[in-house]
Homo-oligomer: A and B are copies of this chain.
């Protein structure tokens, strides 16, 4: 691919690009000299459970990797090992080296579902910050002014609202910026919320007489609700390690509009093909349901396998499709556990007593996951993230979701 073609694809789904001109120059130089660009993306070792929101960034890394560039997965373990220095945030205790190493493994297991492990470098910023002295830190912090730091969106808001900003918070963007100097990064990728910090990297590289990195931001992915950003705490996420069935089912629940956004941000679809797909859906040439099934299968295949994608589709159809199920089925959230089926039916208020449950099962009137239950003594295994439908008699239904 020519540098110009690379640029077109790399720009797909990007919010900020500082600057396009510089990126093209770097891509040309790289091709001319046969020297890959160094692509930096930082990850917080505190939260190694990735969801699809994170994969937007990883997909962009993958594109660079496919074009022959050197992708560096930077684990920001230096600050993680400090934890919350104010001691106020008890949920973020300092991490030990072992914890960091453990979480790095978890990261690797997940990202190598997308990235090629052979041509991905994993780097830890403690490598250079361990050697940093107090004097080095003072020198680093002399390179930025208070006023410029207060230009950062969240700092300026908090300052105006008289909310405290501890001084060490001013040091973290400098730490991230110095990472770019230490790595001699050509490009830094991050979410839109990282724009300021990545620009600090450009400034510090300039001070260090290095060529400045190109900064590219990817959008924050909306969660399944289509409103808030995808996040574990909002329970509107698809985790990279979700089971095929969960991944498929969750994808099928998104709106048609969000579906197209997920295509843009989560798949390798080219700019031209995405536009064509949008037209086909809007004109009714393609049915949204089928397009959504394709997306769901694509995601399951990417994070599991083609076989898993096929069986997830079959199972989804078997349970949810063509069963004359009512649209307004009550949904029941339960905790993971193992339970006798009769107790379970009683717990869900689908029967009034254990004996009624037993009678109904013996009369073949209870169906779980599309299959008749035959043994009233059967034990149900309720695994986290599981989702299925229970039918009792001809009119009682419930959709059960096991909390993750």
Contact = CB atoms under 8 A, between A and B. Distances in A.
Contact of A167 (B132, B133, B145, B159): B145
A290 interface: no
Interface in A133-186: 133-139, 141-147, 149-150, 155, 159, 162, 164-168, 170-171, 174
B164 A141 contact: no
Interface of A: 78-79, 81-82, 85-86, 129, 132-139, 141-147, 149-150, 155, 159, 162, 164-168, 170-171, 174
Given A132-B133, A133-B133, A170-B170, A165 B138 contact: no
Contacts of A147: 159, 162, 164-165
Given A133-B133, A134-B129, A85 B164 contact: no
A82 B129 contact: no
B85 A138 contact: yes
A167 B139 contact: no
A82 B166 contact: no
B164 A167 contact: no
B138 A136 contact: no
B146 A165 contact: yes
A141 B82 contact: no
A220 B143 CA distance: 32
Copies of the protein in its oligomer: 2
Given A82-B138, A85-B139, A145 B166 contact: yes
B145 A168 contact: no
Contacts of A141: 85, 166-168, 170-171
A34 to B, nearest CB: 37
A74 to B, nearest CB: 17
24 contacts: A78-B134, A82-B139, A133-B134, A137-B137, A137-B138, A137-B171, A138-B168, A138-B171, A141-B167, A141-B168, A142-B166, A142-B168, A143-B166, A144-B167, A145-B164, A145-B165, A145-B166, A145-B167, A146-B159, A146-B164, A146-B170, A147-B159, A167-B171, A170-B170
A61 B150 CA distance: 41
Contact of A137 (B86, B134, B146): B134
B168 A86 contact: no
A342 to B, nearest CB: 56
Sort A-B residue pairs by CB-CB distance and give the 7 closest, nearest first. A85-B142, A132-B134, A142-B168, A141-B167, A141-B168, A85-B139, A145-B164
Contacts of A139: 82, 85, 168
A82 B164 CA distance: 29
Nearest to A81: B135
A136 B135 contact: no
Contacts of A145: 164-167
A147 B161 CA distance: 11
